[in-house]
Amino acid sequence: MSKNDLLRLVGVIFFIFSVQGILRALINMILGHPLVFNLFHLSSPISLIIYVILFGLGILLVVKTKPFSK
């Protein structure tokens, strides 16, 4: 596995992790619960900031690296 493939894989993992964290909070809000972002027992605003940073970093890593080699 090359360095490019590793960076792309990390980008995909960051993207999926951040999207599931944001979607879980939004779905709970739709179901009538308060809007709370949970990440390792951190406060909700800090968790949201980390999710947004991971989301942006994941997109950046996927866009800036070459597609996976065969």
Residues 42-47 have a mean pLDDT of 90
Distance CA 67, CA 33 (A): 40
Closest residue by Cα to residue 15 from 63, 48, 55, 52: 55
Domain extent at residue 58: 3-64
Number of domains comprising the chain: 1
Distance CA 68, CA 62 (A): 10
Q: Is residue 31 part of a domain?
A: yes
In sequence order, the 6+-apart residues with CB closer than 8 A to the CB of 12 are 58, 62
Q: Is residue 9 part of a domain?
A: yes
Q: Is residue 70 part of a domain?
A: no
Q: Is residue 69 part of a domain?
A: no
In the chain, the amino acid numbered 11 is G
User: Residue 58: pLDDT band by 50, 70, 90 thresholds?
Assistant: very high
Q: Is residue 11 part of a domain?
A: yes
Distance CA 65, CA 68 (A): 9
Lowest mean pLDDT among 37-41, 45-49, 64-68: 64-68
pTM score of the predicted model: 0.83
